[in-house]
């Protein structure tokens, strides 16, 4: 089988699943965090759930790198480094910065997230480290790489910063929710989600790949509905919630 020629169809089919999931998540918010509720099977402590859910992404892309034959290619190493920077933060740092000691996550959510991560990490790695035509250093000067890489860095920085603002709203062992303020929270309720969407949109541009585009669309499918749920939840919860703040896109939505 010539996988390179089949790849756009495979990535398009995967993107189609993401697009189908988007409307569902508007009505059924994924049952973790503030929407944790019974009925989703056995649960584990939340940090364990996050590690189980996100480590497979770091491993999947690592395995595809190992299987591929671009071990010393500067472009392949750069893409590997970008992906691993995000996923090592998500899988091994973020879980330990969380403050709510009693929060739990259904194993079913962790398993679905892990499956999603293996497919995305696998598709992106397979493309970048085996199938794509891009190697060497010339792509570093391409405007798509420069703009995409810039967006990735900007998105990652605002994502990590906004996660940090949220995590500092609670003291150790404290529970409950407060109104987040400062930075991009001035404009939107979920700048951590916005940052992540910008990051993977930048990745899609920088890798100029169907796999990157599929992942960016999946990220929007997961996070946009959740941003609107969070926004409504905040407005319902806090009478003094800032009226001008939007859900996800400054001044717009
Ligand atoms: N790429 C993807 O498809 C994808 C999918 C899902 C998530 N993610 C990323 O994973 C990260 C975590 O997702 P999430 O849905 O758990 O984000 P979240 O709802 O914004 O929560 C992040 C953390 O902050 C705490 N928190 C949030 N709002 C708070 C408030 N107002 N007061 C006090 N504490 C607050 C949460 O506690 P609780 O857990 O107790 O609510 C949690 O520990 C996000 O940065 C997101 O971008 C990515």
The predicted-structure confidence for 84-135, as pLDDT tens digits, reads as follows 999 999 999 999 999 877 899 999 999 999 999 999 999 999 999 999 988 8
Assess whether the C-beta atom of 71 lies below 6 angstroms from ligand 1.
no
Nearest atom, ligand 1, residue 230 CA? 19
Q: Please tell me the least confidently modeled range out of 15-19, 110-114, 173-177, 211-215.
A: 173-177
| Structure confidence by residue, pLDDT tens digits, 122-180 | 999 999 999 998 888 999 999 999 999 999 999 999 999 999 999 999 988 788 999 99
All residues at 6 or more sequence positions from 66 whose CB lies less than 8 Å from its CB, including other chains: none
Q: What are phi and psi of 43, to 5 degrees?
A: -120, 160
Q: Is the CB of 33 under 6 A from ligand 1?
A: yes
Q: What is the DSSP string of 168-235?
A: TTS-TT--S-----SGGGGTBS-HHHHHHHHHHHHHHHHHT-HHHHHHHHHHHHHHHHHHHHHHHHHH
The answer for 38, left when phi > 0, alpha when psi is -120 to 50, beta otherwise, is beta
pTM assigned to the model: 0.96
- Which 3 state secondary structure label does DSSP give 28? coil
What is d(CA 55, CA 216) in angstroms, rounded to the nearest whole number? 19
Contact 205, 172 (CB under 8 A): no
Instruction: Give residue-wise pLDDT tens across range 42-75.
Output: 999 999 999 999 999 999 999 999 999 999 999 9
Cα 192 to averaged position of ligand 1 atoms, centre (Å): 8
Whole-number Å distance between alpha carbons of 126 and 9: 14
Q: Give the count of alpha carbons within 13 A of 184, CB side only.
A: 23
In percent, the amount of the chain with pLDDT more than 70 equals 100
Q: Is the CB of 126 under 6 A from ligand 1?
A: no
The helix (run of H) or strand (run of E) holding residue 45 is strand 43-45
* 177 CB within 6 A, ligand 1: yes
């Amino acid at each position: 089988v010539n996988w390179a020629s089949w790849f756009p169809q495979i990535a398009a089919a995967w993107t189609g699943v993401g697009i189908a999931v988007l409307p569902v998540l508007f009505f059924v918010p994924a049952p973790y965090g503030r929407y944790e509720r019974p009925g989703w099977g056995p649960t584990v402590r939340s940090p364990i759930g996050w590690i189980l859910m996100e480590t497979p992404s770091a491993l999947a892309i690592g395995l595809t790198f190992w299987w591929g034959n671009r071990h010393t290619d500067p472009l392949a190493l750069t893409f590997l480094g970008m992906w691993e920077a995000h996923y090592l933060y998500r899988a091994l740092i973020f879980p330990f910065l969380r403050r709510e000691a009693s929060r739990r996550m259904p194993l079913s959510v962790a398993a679905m997230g892990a499956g999603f991560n293996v497919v995305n990490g696998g598709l992106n790695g397979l493309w970048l480290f085996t199938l794509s035509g891009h190697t060497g250093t010339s792509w570093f000067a391409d405007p798509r790489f420069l703009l995409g890489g810039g967006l990735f860095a900007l998105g990652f920085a605002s994502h990590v910063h906004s996660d940090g603002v949220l995590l500092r709203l609670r003291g150790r062992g404290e529970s409950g929710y407060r109104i987040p303020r400062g930075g991009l929270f001035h404009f939107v309720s979920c700048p951590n989600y916005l940052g992540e969407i910008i990051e993977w949109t930048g990745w899609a541009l920088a890798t100029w790949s169907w796999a990157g585009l599929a992942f960016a669309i999946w990220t929007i499918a997961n996070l946009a509905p959740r941003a609107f749920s969070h926004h409504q939840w905040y407005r319902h919860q806090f009478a003094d919630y800032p009226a001008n703040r939007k859900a996800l896109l400054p001044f717009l939505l």
